[in-house]
């Protein structure tokens, strides 16, 4: 069987249950592909063959004994921001190079409990700050569609691994687009759940009021399977919400597209940096949804201009606080020969953190400092509320809101955008995190360089089932999500 990596999660589960192949064979197949292909893509920071094969054998035994869960024996990759007991967790940073967590993140623990097999940990922008995965201490991950392009970020390793068929599904995190934008750049489906739906316990914090983990996969159906595993209340995360979890797989056909009201924010399609081909592909996908029975309704999101400045105050402010714990004392990198405690702190942090992270710590510390707190941080919090209200008002007249996930397709590696240029690329994703809403990226075509374009659908709180269902039905009548990068066609 050379094409196990072409199967959907549902087909893999069926194949395992009916003994067409074992989890060991499936897992070995992916490990072989990683060994052969990942040198070109560089999606993995750590590959864990021993762990994976032991988990695969346990899954095979459970399947034989007839007490296996639905997804038992299916491999996945975890973003290197999720703590994994006994496996190193770096968050893409030198400061955590060789950090081994004594416990599993809840997302990881839930995956293990469901019988999922961990292939390894995948690359990311340092502490999830970035949009290209180039800020990783471990080097830039390549976009499988064009190896001279970035896969997006910060969950660029997750996106590249799935797009190159080096993992069938992966976890990602999204603080300001880090699931949706790399999914868009790599032609995948990725869901950012409602804030509080997926536990943040053991997920290294960037901006705690914005961070949310979620699934990245080829299709909405595959995402739904992983959501069924990772969603749910967790007493170890105080912002996790105690609300019944949907069966996302059972609900895949549950939303009627006929009569679905899709809001088109007039501000979004006039953004200066919006690429003409991205705009065209997104509009074509909306036309398709219209043919399927949806109604397009123009809406007003008048706070659009405030998204980037608001996010780039709040996220660094929270980051500057969260990253205080990396002090060279408790864990992670420590500088050589410190002369005193101050020197130890200063040099451990200056040598351990990369440039982008240091820049954000400075911005955040400034925004939180005594003289500027009211002028920057408090003001940003007030604007954040207005942005949320803008969305809630829109949801009085529409069911979902459509937007591009990113204004462009994947950048060239080393394009060296200025911080402002880079931050403007987050215009379509960050407001969703500020408001705590769920949103999904779906691949909807390509530009003239054969780079994927993504449509984003934003839903009201707890509408993950609806978002997955709309994309699933779109994927039943289109085939963008089945297209594969040339490198994914290679066999191990």
Q: Which residues are catalytic?
A: 79, 154, 178
- Distance of closest approach, residue 420 Cβ to ligand GLN, in angstroms: 13
* Contact (CB, 8 A) for 215 and 169: yes
Among 13, 129, 252, 282, binds ligand GLN (CB under 6 A): 129
Q: How many other β-carbons are positioned within 10 Å of the β-carbon of residue 39? A: 8
6-12 long-range contacts (CB < 8 A, ≥24 apart) are 6/165, 7/168, 8/218, 8/219, 8/221, 8/222, 9/71, 9/74, 9/168, 9/169, 9/217, 9/221, 9/222, 9/225, 9/226, 10/221, 10/222, 10/225, 12/73, 12/74, 12/168
Q: Closest approach of Cβ 380 to ligand GLN, in Å?
A: 14
Q: Does 222 bind ligand GLN (CB under 6 A)?
A: no
- 203 Ramachandran zone, left/alpha/beta (phi>0; psi -120 to 50): beta
Residue 131 binds ligand GLN, judged by CB under 6 A:
yes
**Min separation Cβ 97 and ligand GLN, Å:** 20
> Which of 15, 73, 157, 177 is close enough to bind ligand GLN by CB under 6 A?
177
- 23 or 189: whose CB is closer to ligand GLN? 189
DSSP state of 217: E
| Residue 174 in the binding site for ligand GLN (CB under 6 A) | yes
What is the rounded distance in angstroms from the CA atom of residue 474 to the CA atom of residue 330?
A: 49
Chain-centroid distance of CA 111 in Å reads 16
Smallest gap from residue 315 Cβ to ligand GLN (A): 5
Candidates 46, 93, 123, 178; binder of ligand GLN (CB under 6 A) is: 178
CA distance 266 to 69: 46
Q: Is 354 in the site for ligand GLN (CB under 6 A)?
A: no
- Note whether 189 binds ligand GLN by CB under 6 A: no
| Exposure string for 75-97, b = 16+ CB within 10 A, e = fewer | bbbbbbbbbbeebbbbbbbbbbb
**Residue nearest ligand GLN (C-beta atom):** 178
Residue 219 is classified by DSSP as S
Among 236, 7, 215, CA closest to 114: 215
Q: Measured between alpha carbons, how far is 267 from 304 in angstroms, rounded to an integer?
A: 7
d(CA 27, CA 41): 19
Map residues 309-348 to x or -, x wherever contact with ligand GLN holds by CB under 6 A. ------x---------------------------------
For residue 128, state whether it binds ligand GLN (rule: CB under 6 A). Answer: yes
Structure-token pair, residue 264: 């088109």
For the CB of residue 216, give the shortest distance to ligand GLN in the complex, in Å.
13
CB nearer to ligand GLN: pick between 56 and 427: 427
Q: Choose one: 127-135, 285-293, 394-402, 446-454; the region binding ligand GLN (CB under 6 A).
A: 127-135
Q: How far is the CB of 130 from ligand GLN (least distance, A)?
A: 5
Does 206 contact ligand GLN by CB under 6 A? yes
Q: Which of 175, 184, 194, 255 binds ligand GLN (CB under 6 A)?
A: 175
> Nearer to ligand GLN by C-beta: 175 or 199?
175
Q: CA 203, 208, 211, 213 torsion: positive or negative?
A: positive
Closest CA to 253 of 431, 466, 101, 469: 469
The reply on whether position 135 binds ligand GLN by CB under 6 A is no
Q: Which stretch binds ligand GLN (CB under 6 A): 129-137, 162-170, 367-375, 460-468?
A: 129-137
Span interacting with ligand GLN, options 125-133, 182-190, 331-339, 464-472, rule CB under 6 A? 125-133
Identify which of residues 60 and 174 has a Cβ nearer to ligand GLN in the complex.
174
Q: How many CB atoms lie within 10 A of CB 479?
A: 9
Extract the runs of DSSP E, i.e. beta strands, from 321-399: none
Sign of CA dihedral 68, 73, 74, 76: positive
Measured from the CB atom, is 48 or 136 closer to ligand GLN? 136
Q: How far is the CB of 157 from ligand GLN (least distance, A)?
A: 13
- The region of 35-43, 128-136, 383-391, 464-472 touching ligand GLN under the rule CB under 6 A is 128-136
Residues near 358 by beta carbon (within 8 Å), at least 6 away in sequence: 349, 350
Residue 88 DSSP one-character state: B
Check binding of 405 to ligand GLN (CB under 6 A).
Answer: no
Establish if 357 lies at the interface with ligand GLN (CB under 6 A). Answer: no
* DSSP type of residue 373: I
Q: Is 48 in the site for ligand GLN (CB under 6 A)?
A: no
Give the number of residues in contact with ligand GLN, rule: CB under 6 A. 13
130 belongs to the binding site for ligand GLN (CB under 6 A): yes
Asked whether position 228 contacts ligand GLN by CB under 6 A, the answer is: no
Q: Taking CB under 6 A as the rule, does residue 426 contact ligand GLN? A: yes
Q: Could you list the residues that contact ligand GLN (CB under 6 A)?
A: 128-131, 154, 174-178, 206, 315, 426
């Amino acid at each position: 069987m050379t094409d196990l990596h072409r199967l959907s999660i549902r087909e893999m589960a069926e194949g395992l249950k009916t003994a067409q192949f074992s989890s060991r064979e499936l897992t070995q197949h992916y490990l072989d592909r990683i060994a052969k292909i990942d040198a070109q893509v560089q999606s993995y920071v750590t590959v864990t063959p021993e762990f994976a094969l032991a988990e695969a054998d346990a899954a095979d035994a459970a399947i034989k004994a007839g007490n296996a869960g639905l997804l038992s024996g299916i491999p996945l990759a975890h973003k290197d921001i999720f703590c994994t007991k006994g496996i190193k967790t770096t968050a893409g940073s030198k400061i955590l190079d060789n950090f081994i967590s004594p416990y599993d993140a809840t997302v990881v623990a839930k995956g293990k409990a469901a019988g999922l097999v961990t292939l390894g940990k995948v690359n990311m922008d340092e502490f999830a700050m970035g949009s290209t995965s180039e800020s990783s201490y471990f080097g830039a991950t390549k976009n499988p569609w064009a190896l001279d392009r970035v896969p997006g970020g910060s969950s660029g390793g997750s996106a590249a691994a799935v797009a190159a068929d080096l993992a069938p599904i992966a976890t990602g995190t999204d603080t300001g687009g880090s699931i949706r934008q790399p999914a868009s750049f790599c032609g995948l489906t990725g869901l950012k759940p409602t804030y509080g739906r997926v536990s943040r316990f053991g997920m290294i914090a960037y901006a705690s009021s914005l961070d949310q983990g979620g699934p990245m996969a080829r299709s909405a159906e595959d995402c739904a399977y992983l959501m069924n595993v990772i969603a749910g209340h967790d007493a170890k995360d105080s912002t996790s919400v105690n609300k019944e979890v949907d069966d996302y797989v059972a609900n895949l056909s549950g939303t009627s597209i006929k009569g679905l009201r899709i809001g088109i924010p007039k501000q979004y399609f006039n953004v200066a940096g919006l690429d003409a081909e991205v705009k065209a592909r997104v509009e074509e996908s909306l036309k398709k949804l219209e043919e399927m029975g949806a109604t397009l309704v123009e809406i007003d999101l008048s706070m659009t201009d405030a998204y980037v400045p608001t996010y780039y105050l709040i996220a660094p402010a929270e980051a500057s606080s969260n990253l205080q714990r990396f002090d060279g004392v408790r864990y992670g990198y420590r500088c050589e020969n410190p002369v005193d405690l101050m020197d130890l702190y200063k040099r451990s942090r200056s040598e351990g953190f990369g440039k982008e992270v240091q820049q954000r710590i400075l911005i955040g510390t400034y925004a939180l400092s005594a003289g500027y707190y009211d002028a920057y941080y408090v003001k940003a919090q007030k604007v954040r509320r207005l942005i949320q209200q803008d969305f809630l008002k829109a949801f009085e007249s529409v069911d979902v809101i459509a937007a591009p996930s990113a204004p462009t397709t994947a950048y060239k590696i080393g394009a060296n955008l200025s911080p402002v240029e880079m931050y403007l690329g987050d215009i379509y994703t960050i407001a969703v995190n500020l408001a705590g809403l769920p949103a999904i990226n779906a691949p909807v075509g390509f530009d003239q360089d054969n780079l994927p374009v993504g449509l984003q659908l934003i839903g009201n709180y707890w509408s993950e089932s609806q978002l997955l269902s709309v994309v699933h039905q779109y994927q039943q009548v289109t085939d963008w999500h089945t297209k594969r990068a040339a490198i994914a066609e290679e066999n191990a």
